[in-house]
Amino acid sequence: MTNETAFLETPIGTAKIVGDENGIQSVTFLDEKIPTSIEIAPCLQECVSQLTDYFEGKRTEFELTLHPKGTYFQGKVWKSLLQIPFGKTTSYLEQSTLLGDPKAIRAVASANGKNPILIIIPCHRVIGSDGSFTGFSAGIWRKKWLLAHENPVKQETLF
């Protein structure tokens, strides 16, 4: 079975989507601008559609078959990321505690950094215990953008 690839222009750069009939294997971001794919393999069409809805503010949850490649531990960490609700954040310490070992914070952070399916497996929702925007494989500026997109501050008028 061959992997299919599609590109999607987004507000944070070109998303490169890879997958096959077994599911989505990766969503990564490129710094180079590549136009949205015109021909999209059937196994990737729903992912492109749902990501488009997400960026247009019409979707808060994804309903896709995911097939990330990683170790058993990484898979456990990535699965726990799926429990973080849209518009919310958690810390690496909270995530490692939830996984049963608060001392595994570095291993959990490392597994988050190797998450191959950005946005859909929402590792961008994990921040430092002090509220800092620590590590994001696609760049901190993208993490800030995604968190602001998911939790826009509504500015109230002062007068």
What tens digit of pLDDT does each residue of 6-45 get?
999 999 999 999 999 999 999 999 999 999 999 999 999 9
* pLDDT at residue number 29: 97
Query: Is residue 78 domain-shared with residue 134, that is, in the same domain?
Result: yes
Query: Is residue 83 domain-shared with residue 144, that is, in the same domain?
Result: yes
Please check whether residue 100 lies inside any domain of the structure. yes
* pLDDT at residue number 153: 67
| pLDDT tens-place values along the chain, 159 residues long | 789 999 999 999 999 999 999 999 999 999 999 999 999 999 999 999 999 999 999 999 999 999 999 999 999 999 999 999 999 999 999 999 999 999 999 999 999 999 999 999 999 999 988 888 887 888 899 999 999 999 876 555 555
Closest residue by Cα to residue 87 from 138, 12, 153? 153
Contact call for residues 78 and 85 (beta carbons, < 8 A) = no
Query: Is residue 79 domain-shared with residue 136, that is, in the same domain?
Result: yes
Query: Is residue 8 domain-shared with residue 77, that is, in the same domain?
Result: no
Query: Is residue 78 domain-shared with residue 146, that is, in the same domain?
Result: yes
- Residues 109 and 91: their CA atoms lie apart, in Å, by 10
Please check whether residue 86 lies inside any domain of the structure. yes
* pLDDT at residue number 132: 85
Query: Is residue 48 domain-shared with residue 78, that is, in the same domain?
Result: no
Distances (CA, A) of 6 to 37, 47, 73, 134: 6, 10, 28, 29
Query: Is residue 43 domain-shared with residue 96, that is, in the same domain?
Result: no
Catalytic residues: 123
Whole-structure pTM value:
0.91
Interhelix angle 72-81/105-113, rounded to 10 degrees, is 80
* pLDDT at residue number 131: 85
Please check whether residue 131 lies inside any domain of the structure. yes
- CATH number of residue 108's parent domain: 1.10.10.10
* Domains identified in the chain, total number: 2
Query: Is residue 15 domain-shared with residue 46, that is, in the same domain?
Result: yes
- Residues 150 and 127: their CA atoms lie apart, in Å, by 14
Please check whether residue 135 lies inside any domain of the structure. yes
